[in-house]
Amino acid sequence: MQRKMKGTYDILPSESSRWQAVERAIRRVSKIYNYKEIRTPIFEQSELFHRSVGEDTDIVSKETYDFKDRGDRDNTLRPEGTAGVVRSVIENKLYAADIPVQKLYYMGPMFRYERPQKGRYRQFHQFGAEAFGSNSPLLDAEMISYAVSVLKSLKLKEVTVKINSLGDSQSKEDYKIALLNYLEPNVKHLCKDCQTRYKTNPLRILDCKVDKGSLVLKEAPKPLDYLTKESQEHFDNLVKYLDQMDIAYTIDKALVRGLDYYTHTVFEVDANVSSLGAQKTLCGGGRYNNLVNDLDGPDIPAVGFAFGIERLLLALESIDYKGDAEYIHLFMMILGDDQKEDAAKMIQRCRLGGLYVDTDFLDRSMKSKFNQAESHNARFVAIYGANEKEANTINIKDQESGIQETIETDQLYTYIMTKLMEPSSKCETCEDDDCDDCS
């Protein structure tokens, strides 16, 4: 028997409704913030990720799925979404469009070769957003608000935001010198990877998972203390905008994020839910003003974020989030072969009108048909047999109200639509009929 690859999983029909509900929430919030969807290829030239994410990052050096195609070209399954979006913006000259600030979002699978664990897989899914064309800290604040709004739309209440600034190129260079001077006598106390990073990419030491809690890193100089005047002004304005937007945040001076391309603002959004364990972060992002230019595009500033959808779904387990209820409008019970042609016509009419309809294809017993209707959570159950065919009628029962009626066959669609448009007597709070206590 063939089995799925390690680090991958199947999204079964019983689980897909939760995914669809999360995707709908994402699209709804994206529309509110006026971000439009972009879809890029699942694999790109390897060079794209080496140049954007960084040669010395764990993602590129240890985790990418690389392969050569039949033309002996180096390709990589995308490990993250930003690089492909930036490549598309440059290649398709979206920066020259009539809309000066391009606001984009994406959803789709990513691939990293890492140790699978709960909420982390080798094939995983990301939702991310990118905005190109403005250096305004107001756009940074909008990005943070956008990310928080997605979580709140999914009823996650205990959401916290951590922010920091790496500053511009000069700020990062000044900080790098200070960090190297501080680490020089202490580097031997760090892990082997960090000892290598000291020579190649010292800023990444601050993002090390092994040494994160070490006293050496806790007492290291922080990027926020080395900002240029312009960078400090950018950060101060971001803070003011977040205050005005009533977005709670904390300034985390140790926050750097794990990718090389960040400049100025970096942020993370956490959710305080038990299902995530000690690692509460659901979203990370920041500004990357040099990346478009580094990938041979024009000098255009940008800012973005990304969510891991698997971790988002894991967080939703703590609030028992089930997504939208699975149901159909009508289950048609056909009694006898002679009635199937007429029934097929009625089913097609209802479906073309937008109703969700199913029937039994195995000619099973009435009891089995009723069980199937119940499994589908059908609002209406219709019975069409020889007697109904002769009278040109159909028996239909509203499972919600218990009312059963006999109607003419050509009235089936209109009858169901009329019933669906009637206001429900159920209390939205306790779901009891005619409740007076909750109002």
Q: Is 401 a residue whose pLDDT tops 90?
A: yes
Helix (H, G, I), strand (E, B) or coil at 67: strand
| Residues 66/71/73/79 CA torsion (nearest 10 deg) | -40
pLDDT at 273: 85
Q: CATH 3.30.930.10 occupies which residues in the chain?
A: 13-167+228-319
**pLDDT value at residue 439:** 41
Percentage of residues of the chain with pLDDT beyond 70: 94
- pLDDT of residue 70 exceeding 80: yes
Using alpha carbons, select from 273, 370, 250, 271 the residue that is nearest to residue 320.
273
The per-residue pLDDT for range 51-68, each reduced to its tens digit, is 877 666 667 777 899 999
Residue 37 phi, psi dihedral angles, 5° rounding: -75, 140
Contact between residue 146 and residue 33 where contact means Cβ atoms under 8 Å apart = yes
pLDDT at position 191 is 83
Q: What is the pLDDT of residues 85-120, one digit of tens each?
A: 999 999 999 999 899 999 999 999 999 998 888 778
pLDDT tens digits, residue range 261-289? Answer: 789 999 999 998 878 877 789 999 999 99
* Separation of alpha carbons 319 and 326, rounded Å: 19
Average pLDDT, the chain: 90
Quick one: average pLDDT of 132-138?
A: 96
Instruction: Show the tokens assigned to 347.
Output: 């089913």
Locate CATH 3.40.50.800 in the chain. Answer: 328-419
**Which has more confidence, 384 or 431?**
384
Write the DSSP symbol of residue 433.
Answer: B
Vertex 310: Cα angle to 305 and 314 (nearest 5)? 110
Q: Which fold has domain 328-419?
A: Rossmann fold (3.40.50)
Helix (H, G, I), strand (E, B) or coil at 325: coil
Confidence (pLDDT) at 54: 67
Confidence (pLDDT) at 216: 77
Q: DSSP letters along 247-316, please?
A: ---EE-TT---S-TT-EEEEEEEEE--GGGTT--EEEEEEE-TTHHHHTTS-S--EEEEEEEHHHHHHHH
For residue 55, give every residue at least 6 positions away whose Cβ sits within 8 Å of its Cβ, in sequence order, or none. 61
Match 């050569």 to its residue by tokens: 68
Residue type at 427 in one-letter notation: C
For the stretch 285-344, pLDDT in tens is 999 999 999 999 999 999 999 999 999 999 998 888 877 778 999 999 999 999 999 999
CATH value of 13-167+228-319 in 3.40.50.620, 3.30.300.30, 1.20.140.10, 3.30.930.10: 3.30.930.10
Show the tokens assigned to 253: 């001076």
Question: Model confidence over 374-383: pLDDT tens digits?
Answer: 999 999 999 9
pLDDT greater at residue 39 or residue 188: 39
- Given a cut of 70, is residue 437 above it in pLDDT? no
**For the segment 198-253, what is each residue's pLDDT rounded down to a tens digit?**
777 777 777 777 777 677 778 888 899 999 999 999 999 999 999 999 999 999 98
Per-residue model confidence (pLDDT) at position 429: 43
> What pLDDT does residue 106 have?
98
What are the structure tokens assigned to 214, written together? 């070490």
Residue 155: both structure tokens together: 């009823």
* Residue partners of 256: CB distance under 8 A and separation at least 6: 164, 166, 203, 204, 206, 207, 223, 262, 266
Phi, psi of 109, rounded to the nearest 5 degrees: -80, 145
